[in-house]
Structure formats: C-alpha cells, structure tokens
Chain A
Amino acid sequence: MAVSLQRGLVLRLITTIVVLFLLDAVACYYTAMHFSNVVYDRWLVDSARSLTTALKVDNNRISLDLPHVARDIFQFDEIDKTYFRVSSGTVLIAGDTRLPQASGTVNEQEHFLDTDIDRIPVRLVAVKISRSLLPAPVLIEVAETLNKRLRLRREIVLAMVAPQLTLIATAIAAAWLGISLGLKPLTTLAEQLEARGHDNLSPVPEQGLPREARVLVSKMNGLFSRLEHSMAMQRRFIADAAHQLRTPLAAVLLHAERAEQARSALDREEGGNALRSLHSAAQRATRVSHQLLSLARAEPDAIRDEDFKPTDLVALARRIGEEWIPHALVQNSDFGLAVPSHPVIVPVHAGLLTECISNLIDNALRYAGPHSCITLSVSDLPVPTIAVEDNGPGVPLQERARIFERFYRLPSSNVSGCGLGLSIVSEIAKTHRAKVRVEDASTGRGARFVIAFA
C-alpha cells in the first residue's frame, strides 16, 4: 500500500494536536510565571517594608537597627538566598554592596527588576521611603534568588500539562481506533479483491458498504464489466486469429510433405504442383499475419490523438498507389490515379490510412484479377473522399452490409483470403470518424469502395 489512509488521517490529527499542545504549554508557562511573580513579589515587598520598622534616626543620621538574630531571620530561607541594601542618596546605611544599582527613578511605588548577583539570577525590589521623621528619602532594596519561583512555575506547568498529555494520548488512540473501524469496509474490500483469481472480473457486492465506498465500488464494477467485455473480445479474436493462421499453415505442412515425397519418387510434376501450392499457402499465411497485425494496430487503445496530423490526401494516395504499381504490373492490370490538381487536407493517421487504402487496392487487384482496370481517386466534393474502383465482379447488394464484418467472406468468391481486409478498412475508417461504403462502379461493372471524411 503506497499511502495509508489511516496513518495519514491520524498523522494529520497528531500534528494538529501537538502544535496546539505546544502553543498551550508556552501560554501555560507564561501564566505560571506571572502568578509565581505576583505571589513572591508580594512577599519581597513585605520584606522590604518590614525593614523600614528597623530604621532609626539619630541626630539626623539614619541607621538600621537590625539585631543579628533578626537579620538572620530576615535572610534565612531554606531555598532562596535574600540580599538587602538600605541607602539614602549615595550613602550606604546597611546591607550588601553586591546588589546592583536599580536604574531609573524609584518612587514610593515598588520597583521590580530581574537582574543577577554573582551571576546568579535574582528578583529585586526597590522601595523608596520618605517620611516626615526621616531627614532624607531612604531606598530599600531587597533581592532574592529564584528557586522558589521556578519550583512553583514547574509545579503549575506540570499540573496543567500532565492531564493534557493524557488527554492527547487518549484522543489519538480513539482516533486511530475510530478511523480503523471506519476504514474496515475498505480493508475488507481490499482483502476480497486480493483473494480473487486474476481472471475474476465479476462485480463486487455493494451492500453493507458506507456511501463513500459504494461510489468507488460502483465505478470499479463499471470498469470490471468493460474490462471483461474487452477481454472476451480479445479472447475471441485470438481464437479466430489462431484458427485463421492454422488453415494456411496446415496447407503449408501438407504441401511440404507432398513435395518431399514427390521428390523421392522422382515425380517431377507432382513435386512442382506441391511446391506451387506450398508457395501460395505460405503467401496466405503471410497475408493473414500481416492483417492481424494491422487489426491490432487499429485497436482504439493503440492509437494516440497526436498521431493524427493534417495530411494531403492527394499526396498520400499518390505515394500509396506508387507502392502498388509493381503488383499491378505483374498481373497486367491498368492501375490509375485520378486526383484533383489541388491538395485535399484532412487530419489523418497516415500509417493507418495507408494500411486502409492498401487493403482496398489489394482487394481490387485480387478480386478483379489479371488485366483488370483499377482506379484510386481522391475528391473533395462534397466532402473529402478516397475511393478505389475496379471492374471486377462487384459486391451483390444483399452482401454489402456484411462484408465489413471480421472473417466474413463472400460465399461466391473463389479468391483466397481470410475475411479480415475489409474489417481492417472499416475499423480504420471508424478511428477517423469516416464513413466507408461500397457501391457499383461508375462504369456499371465492378465495385467502388469509398471512404468519406466528414
């Protein structure tokens, strides 16, 4: 199977879900970050403000009265490390000098900053305190490492993502199962088709199939029936063809045996006769094989539209006729060409039409016999036509409808043939959407075959 419908559907579904999930995870992370900051920033501000209670003013000098125990409590945390600094203007009152300077103007509001101390990322809050008791505004800065925040974020993200992952897995499994159940009729169908013999072209039952599959199956059944029909035609044709070839070949065998025996018995005349019969039987087999090939070439499947090209019927007829001149001369027939002096252009398949006209000329030469008069003509009034006329025995009215059938032969005829020539003519005319007809020759005696292009 080149493309799995099921895999394709599930893959598309998974892709969509995964993309959505990733977007959701990003959103989730930022939400977690926001809330962890809201919570811990509050604490940080509280810590900063709690330091203001330890501010003392003595002779206009501000100091921080923070006992060691209190300082330890302030800075103690199992998880995070806390730094602080209290300053007024450029004067450091207490705390850590490693804290980075908060940039910009700091007012009564809390000012937050993400920065780092000794390359460890911290969250810093700066609060400016100005009270009537204080001789100058005091800047309190408190910074804290991020461990607690990160942990909280991780926990929030995990809490949100884990159920989602489960949900996704369930959805994919459900989709896989659902699709495979939905496609079940198709796989059953495939198994049925695979189990068939190579020549079983009977229709596939349509009941029990979902509507979508039924359309496919009904089209397939249509194709099967057409295939069945064309295969039956093909089989019949091959059987007929083998039969047609078998007859002249049987004659070849018999005459060859006769000739061999005659030679050993020194019967010259008998031998000569046998060889002549052998020759004509071989000629017949040759002709049949050639015609069978032509017939195969005239099959609609073997013809491509681009092989049809605008062609001058006058030039084509002249070329085909010239090929037949030696044959006409051998039997002393008067073979002529009658064409207008201007070209007659029609889109044709030159190879096939050559075959078609050749068959008509061949027939005329054979049926009209030695010393006959045969004319190949082209005309363009009222429609472009090519015609072959002879002065032979002609075709009786009641036979005219049947002579174009495959393997049909005139009952009265004693000319050897296999009844394929005219069916080739008719098939080729059909591929050109041309009409072929037989009528009395213009002189009254003989046949005239006309191919009229419409």
Chain B
Amino acid sequence: MRLLLVEDDPDLRIAMVNHLRRSKFEIECISDGQDALENLTAREYDLGIIDIGLPRLDGLTLVRSLRRRSRGLPIIIVTARDSLADRIDGLECGADDYLVKPFEYAELEARIRALLRRHRADRKLTVKIGALQFTPGEPHVRLNDTDVRLPAKEAALLEILVLRSGKVVRKTEIADRLTRRGDPPTDTAIEICVHRLRRRLGPHGLNVRTLRGFGYLLESSATNGG
C-alpha cells in the first residue's frame, strides 16, 4: 500500500512516518501543497493523508483540485481546526475522512485501513478482514483459504457489513438491503440471519457484534489485514 503524507510540521511528520512504516505501509512525504499536487498527478497512490494548513497551497484547495483530476483516491484530512464548520468544509471539499489533531496513531491506522477496505470493496476488489476474503459480486467468499458458498440473504448481509467495515450498520440499513428481493424482513428475520452468519464466521475468528439499539458491526479478533 503506497500512501502519500502531506504535512509541513517536521516533528509530526517524522512521528507519523515512523508509525506508518512500522505498520508496513509504503509512505512518501511532502511538506508543501503545490509539490503535493504535482506529485499526486504524476504518480499513483492508494491513499492520501493531507494536513489543511500547508504552505503555498492549502489542504482544502489541494483536495479540491485532486478530486477534479482523480476521483478515486481516498483522502483523510488531518487538521487542528475542529469546529463543526471546519469539519463540514473538510468533508464537502471531497475528503473521505477527517481527523483532528492531536490524535492517537491507533485511530489514524484504523481509519486508514477502514478507508482502504471500503475503497477496495467499492471497486469490487477483494477485501481481507482477518480470515475472510470477500469480493463483492462473487457468489462465494473465502474463509481460511476455503471457498464457502453463502445463502443469498447472508451474502447480502455480509456484503453490507464488509462495505461498512469498522463502522456500525443500522438495522434499517440491513432491512433496506434485504428488501430488494421481496417483502421487507421482520426484525426477527434479520436477527436470525445475523445469528446464522455469526455461527458461520465465529470459528474463523470473525464476529458480528450486536450493539444495543445501534445495529451490527463486523469485527475480527485477529489483526486487521490490509
């Protein structure tokens, strides 16, 4: 995974690069918005981490110009500005996620991985979560290198859980997803479906966690794979 880090503060840049290298990311750094723009159009990256307060070309403008050129690149904005208006500006200019300084590396890494997975799933590429390899649109999934064919409802449920991996999926969203094949499912039907999927994934170190009132979340007890 090749990441581009655009950050002008040297201390923060060194700390982030050290962490990211340890997490086995390939990383390039640029300290200036204008250089970043030229670099990003010339080379291919899997994800960009961009600070808003940059010399020469500010982060928001950089993200906007990038969005005009290559729509696909996932971008996380990192900034010290955290008012609601700043957050909205950040996301409206085309960034996929927004992280406020100071932050802990674990949170940055979790967001990078979730974003990369979502991005892969969006492009119908294979996503790996622990022992699970899931390719959207394929009739079967791989669990610990064995192909497993899932019933349609469970496959649909797994797909939405994978697409939103790391984030909670509401019951209403699951109902919407499963309705396409007929009548909207009852709460009990959803719970049964979740229960079955949970039983199937459980032995492979994956869990569909229930969060009271919120919904469901797919988590892996093993370390997350990129």
> Counting CB contacts under 8 A, is A322 at the interface?
yes
Q: How far is the CB of A343 from chain B (nearest CB, A)?
A: 13
Distance A282 CA – B15 CA, assembled complex (angstroms) = 14
Contact B213 A337 (CB under 8 A): yes
Q: How far is the CB of B112 from chain A (nearest CB, A)?
A: 14
Contact B211 A325 (CB under 8 A): yes
Contact B212 A334 (CB under 8 A): yes
0/1 interface trace, chain A 45-84, chain B, CB 8 Å (1 if under): 0000000000000000000000000000000000000000
Q: How far is the CB of A249 from chain B (nearest CB, A)?
A: 13
Q: How many A residues face the partner with a CB closer than 8 A?
A: 24
Determine the residue in chain A with the shortest Cβ distance to B219. Answer: A329
Contact B214 A336 (CB under 8 A): yes
Set of chain A residues within 8 Å of B83, measured between Cβ atoms: 297, 351
Contact B82 A322 (CB under 8 A): no
Interface of B is mostly: loop
Question: Given A293-B82, A329-B219, A351-B83 in contact, is the A322-B212 Cβ separation under 8 Å?
Answer: no
Interface residues of B toward A: which range? 10 to 19
Distance A326 CA – B170 CA, assembled complex (angstroms) = 15
Q: How far is the CB of A225 from chain B (nearest CB, A)?
A: 32
Residues of A278-311 at the interface with B, using a CB-CB cut-off of 8 Å, are 282-283, 286, 289-290, 293, 297
> Given A338, A351, A375, which contacts B84 in the complex, CB threshold below 8 Å?
A351
0/1 interface trace, chain A 372-397, chain B, CB 8 Å (1 if under): 00011000000000000000000000
Q: How far is the CB of B167 from chain A (nearest CB, A)?
A: 7
> Given B104, B166, B214, B219, which contacts A337 in the complex, CB threshold below 8 Å?
B214
Q: How far is the CB of A327 from chain B (nearest CB, A)?
A: 10
Contact A336 B211 (CB under 8 A): yes
Q: How far is the CB of A283 from chain B (nearest CB, A)?
A: 8
Set of chain A residues within 8 Å of B211, measured between Cβ atoms: 325, 335-337
Interface of A is mostly: helix
Distance A248 CA – B213 CA, assembled complex (angstroms) = 37
> Counting CB contacts under 8 A, is A102 at the interface?
no
Contact B84 A350 (CB under 8 A): yes
Q: How far is the CB of B197 from chain A (nearest CB, A)?
A: 19
> Given B82, B110, B168, B213, which contacts A339 in the complex, CB threshold below 8 Å?
B213
> Given B166, B214, B219, which contacts A321 in the complex, CB threshold below 8 Å?
B214
Distance A453 CA – B219 CA, assembled complex (angstroms) = 37
Distance A329 CA – B110 CA, assembled complex (angstroms) = 13
Contact A336 B168 (CB under 8 A): no
> Counting CB contacts under 8 A, is B217 at the interface?
yes
Set of chain B residues within 8 Å of A283, measured between Cβ atoms: 104
Distance A334 CA – B213 CA, assembled complex (angstroms) = 11
Distance A329 CA – B218 CA, assembled complex (angstroms) = 12
Contact B212 A375 (CB under 8 A): yes
> Counting CB contacts under 8 A, is A111 at the interface?
no
Q: How far is the CB of B115 from chain A (nearest CB, A)?
A: 14
> Counting CB contacts under 8 A, is B102 at the interface?
yes
0/1 interface trace, chain B 53-82, chain A, CB 8 Å (1 if under): 000000000000000000000000000001
> Given A282, A329, A336, which contacts B213 in the complex, CB threshold below 8 Å?
A336
Set of chain A residues within 8 Å of B209, measured between Cβ atoms: 329
Distance A290 CA – B103 CA, assembled complex (angstroms) = 11
Distance A213 CA – B214 CA, assembled complex (angstroms) = 64
> Counting CB contacts under 8 A, is A318 at the interface?
yes
The interface centre, meaning the residue of B83, B170, B213, B219 with most chain A CB atoms within 10 A of its CB, is B213
Distance A334 CA – B210 CA, assembled complex (angstroms) = 10
Contact A336 B212 (CB under 8 A): yes
Distance A335 CA – B213 CA, assembled complex (angstroms) = 9
0/1 interface trace, chain A 318-360, chain B, CB 8 Å (1 if under): 1001100110010000111111000000000011001000000
Set of chain A residues within 8 Å of B104, measured between Cβ atoms: 283
Set of chain B residues within 8 Å of A297, measured between Cβ atoms: 83
Set of chain A residues within 8 Å of B170, measured between Cβ atoms: 318
> Given B102, B110, B213, which contacts A326 in the complex, CB threshold below 8 Å?
B110
Distance A321 CA – B217 CA, assembled complex (angstroms) = 14
Determine the residue in chain B with the shortest Cβ distance to A352. Answer: B84
Distance A335 CA – B168 CA, assembled complex (angstroms) = 12
Question: Given A293-B82, A351-B83 in contact, is the A325-B102 Cβ separation under 8 Å?
Answer: no
Q: How far is the CB of B163 from chain A (nearest CB, A)?
A: 16
Some 23 contacts from A to B, beta carbons below 8 A apart, are A282-B102, A283-B104, A297-B83, A318-B170, A318-B214, A321-B214, A322-B167, A322-B168, A322-B214, A325-B211, A326-B110, A329-B217, A329-B219, A334-B212, A335-B211, A336-B214, A337-B212, A337-B213, A338-B212, A350-B84, A351-B83, A351-B84, A354-B84
Known: A326-B107, A329-B219. 18 other contacts (CB 8 A): A286-B102, A289-B102, A321-B213, A321-B214, A325-B168, A325-B211, A326-B110, A326-B166, A329-B209, A334-B212, A335-B212, A336-B211, A337-B212, A337-B213, A337-B214, A338-B212, A338-B213, A351-B84
Give the interface of B toward A (CB within 8 A).
Answer: 82-84, 102, 104, 107, 110, 166-168, 170, 209, 211-214, 217, 219
Give the interface of A toward B (CB within 8 A).
Answer: 282-283, 286, 289-290, 293, 297, 318, 321-322, 325-326, 329, 334-339, 350-351, 354, 375-376
Chain A to chain B: the 7 pairs with minimum beta-carbon distance, closest first: A336-B212, A337-B213, A351-B84, A286-B102, A336-B213, A337-B214, A322-B168
